[in-house]
């Protein structure tokens, strides 16, 4: 049994190396399909983390009337912190709001002079509220719109970036769907290329196959080398897909960090590289074996 397995593997390697140009073309097409799949994996990591970072920056601001007592504002803050939807509440007093306003407009002499001439603080206290989920802001807004708070609440507003994030999520979803379609198309093409490669190998070896049948070779012995060849196509393509993606990841990682400092693409790639390699090889082997088996069922009558 071990001798038969050894010979099947040996003839599989011979089958893989016999038509080097055809094998190279087959592997190249499989590599393109696997790179697209790996690209979708990386893109999903980036989009998921980007949305998580952006969603964490969404909050709702509650601006109080300038005559609202501070203890009343703090009472509202404590009541908000008791809501299950609320993740964090930040209190900004009137004095803090004025200092922030001055710092943001320190280079604008007209505004600075206007504040000095006004002689009093025109800004109101506010609460910045973050929810565990952006969809929970509606509940928080409804709570703050209660008539009992109307005497002290001036305005309740969502930050404009919520609209931007919703739009970004739709764009990301569209791009992911397009990438999935492209990966499926390239996978189909790669499967057809492997199919035709095995078909040509069967045709070129038809005399050898006939002789093996005459001397009593089993179906496993005849078909085994083609399955091994398909597995080899998948292993080589899987390894190459990761190796070719690696320089691209190293190149774009600093640019990703500029736009999203919280995301380290390179660290993620290297920390999961063993899983990525196994996944790519596994998918490549499945593609190679399925395509080989399909070709044998169609053209190898044994």
Domains assigned to the chain: 2-54+165-299 (no CATH), 59-158 (3.30.70.3040)
Q: Are 12 and 228 in contact (CB under 8 A)?
A: yes
For residue 251, what are the CA distances in angstroms to 41, 193, 265?
Answer: 17, 31, 10
Give the strand pairing for 126-131 and 86-92: antiparallel
Which band of pLDDT confidence, cut at 50, 70 and 90, is reported for residue 1? low
Q: Does the pTM of the predicted model rise above 0.75?
A: no
Which tens digits make up the pLDDT trace of 130-163?
888 777 887 888 888 888 888 898 888 765 556 7
According to the model, what pLDDT value does residue 249 have?
A: 93
164 Cβ contact partners less than 8 Å away, ≥ 6 residues apart: 54
Establish how many alpha carbons lie within 13 A of residue 49's alpha carbon, considering only the half-sphere containing its beta carbon: 16
* Max Cα distance, the chain (Å): 107
Angle at 100 between CA 158 and CA 81, to 5 degrees: 45
Q: Tens digits of per-residue pLDDT, 210-253?
A: 766 666 666 666 777 878 888 888 899 999 999 999 999 999 99
């Amino acid at each position: 049994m071990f001798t038969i397995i050894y010979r099947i593997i040996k003839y599989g390697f011979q089958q893989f190396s016999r038509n080097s140009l055809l094998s190279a073309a087959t592997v190249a097409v499989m590599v393109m399909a696997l790179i697209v799949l790996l690209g979708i994996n990386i893109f999903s990591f980036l989009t998921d983390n980007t949305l998580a970072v952006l969603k964490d920056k969404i909050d709702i601001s509650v601006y109080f009337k300038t005559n609202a007592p501070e203890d009343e504002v703090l009472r509202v803050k404590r009541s908000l912190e008791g809501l299950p939807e609320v993740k964090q509440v930040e209190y900004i007093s009137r004095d803090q709001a004025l200092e922030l306003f001055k710092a943001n407009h320190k280079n604008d002499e007209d505004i600075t002079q206007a504040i000095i001439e006004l002689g009093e603080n025109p800004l109101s206290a506010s609460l910045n509220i973050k929810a565990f989920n952006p969809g929970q802001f509606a509940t928080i807004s409804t709570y703050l719109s209660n008539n009992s708070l109307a005497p002290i609440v001036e305005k309740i507003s969502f930050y404009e970036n919520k609209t931007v994030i919703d739009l970004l999520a739709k764009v990301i979803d569209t791009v992911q769907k397009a990438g999935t379609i492209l990966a499926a198309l390239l996978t189909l093409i790669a499967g057809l290329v492997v199919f035709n490669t095995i078909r040509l190998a069967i045709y070129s070896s038809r005399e050898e196959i006939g002789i093996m049948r005459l001397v009593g070779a089993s179906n496993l012995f005849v078909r085994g080398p083609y399955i091994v060849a398909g597995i080899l196509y998948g292993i080589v393509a899987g390894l190459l897909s990761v190796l070719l993606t690696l320089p691209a990841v190293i190149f774009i990682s600093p640019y990703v960090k500029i736009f999203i400092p919280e995301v380290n693409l390179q660290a993620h790639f290297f920390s999961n590289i063993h899983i990525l390699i196994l996944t790519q090889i596994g998918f490549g082997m499945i593609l190679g074996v399925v395509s080989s088996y399909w070709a044998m069922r169609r053209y190898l009558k044994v």
